[in-house]
Amino acid sequence: MLTPQQRTLCQPGLKRLAHPVLPLARLAGMLFLTGPFADLESLLAELTEPVETAGIRYEQPGLELLPYLEAMRPFERLKHPRPPSRVIFAGDLQPVDPFTAIDSWVAQNVLTRELEEINSLLCGPCGCTLCCTGPDRGQQQEFFEIPLSAREAALFDLPRVDNDMSRATSAAADLPLIITDIPFYQRPAALYHWRQGWSMILPRLSICPNLDGASGGCRIYPSRPEVCRRPQIFPYMLERTPDHDREFDGRMLTAFLIRNKMLAIWDCPYVKQFQTEIGVYAQMCGMEPVFKENKA
């Protein structure tokens, strides 16, 4: 459990959880589709008076939505059709109507952006380094893997393993990569180039080289990798399903299934502490909250 002082420091994050922007984004989407607006900018410029929707009052709706303009951009496709860039199915693989498809796309975008900020507000006060360390003695896993792009891999001062054998397998393969007679995960932390690309492997009791042991903070916080920005509460409105990608007009359209869930990782101290608030946030966004353990 968090201390009273930590809970106080989490108040800015809790205020955001109690005031999700998605209901407002959906209302704005309806106004845009039914009103005389050429683009979303024109609509937001008109939203200067307070509005209430889903029991939430938004004092300055246009300004509140401004940071989410690009996230909401798919709404414009319903008014000004463009060649498709993705294909969205219901969870049972049945086709869905265009509004449902676009609404789920916007919801995924808006929530991804909002939850990244809420995660940062809640993570800082916890003084926790779980996401930046390898498994401890009591955990089942032998190692944790942090996937990285080639550019992100350059941010880590670690030995590299990049050869034909590493590129032919993956960290999750049944037969582990053996280096000088021992499995890779029994060696010190390192960067590996696998079949799918780069990742950092944090073996048991190891720590990320960018973790500042004294402060418990990340030394490269502003430029930390994409995966380190992912919240422990994250939207699972759409699931990417490459097996259902479709060819259209000589191009491949990326496929997604609508899941309409919000996942929260139970290992995280603020998820445990604020389960009720997270559940209410998910419901206000019209989604089912799901709590699951990650690092068992």
Q: Which residues of this protein are in contact with ligand SF4, per CB under 6 A?
A: 123, 126, 128-132, 146, 208, 210-211, 218, 220, 224, 228, 232, 267-270
Which residue, 51 or 153, has its beta carbon nearer to ligand SF4?
Answer: 153
Which residue, 131 or 255, has its beta carbon nearer to ligand SF4?
Answer: 131
Report residue 69: phi and psi, to 5°: -55, -50
Tell the smallest beta-carbon distance from residue 178 to ligand SF4 (Å): 26
Tell the smallest beta-carbon distance from residue 211 to ligand SF4 (Å): 4
Tell the smallest beta-carbon distance from residue 270 to ligand SF4 (Å): 6
Task: Count the Cβ atoms, other than its own, within 10 Å of residue 221.
Answer: 13
Which residue, 74 or 134, has its beta carbon nearer to ligand SF4?
Answer: 134
Tell the smallest beta-carbon distance from residue 268 to ligand SF4 (Å): 3
Tell the smallest beta-carbon distance from residue 279 to ligand SF4 (Å): 17
Nearest to 57 by CA among 31, 29, 19, 27: 19
* b/e burial code for range 112-135 (CB count within 10 A of at least 16 → b): bebbeebbebbbbbbebebbbbbb
- As given in the structure block, the two tokens for residue 44 are 């937001």
Which residue, 103 or 145, has its beta carbon nearer to ligand SF4?
Answer: 145
**What distance in Å separates the CA atoms of residue 204 and residue 256, rounded to the nearest whole number?**
35
**What distance in Å separates the CA atoms of residue 136 and residue 143, rounded to the nearest whole number?**
9
**What distance in Å separates the CA atoms of residue 143 and residue 184, rounded to the nearest whole number?**
10
Which residue, 29 or 231, has its beta carbon nearer to ligand SF4?
Answer: 231
Nearest to 17 by CA among 225, 289, 199: 289
Tell the smallest beta-carbon distance from residue 221 to ligand SF4 (Å): 7
Which residue, 245 or 267, has its beta carbon nearer to ligand SF4?
Answer: 267
**What distance in Å separates the CA atoms of residue 33 and residue 265, rounded to the nearest whole number?**
36
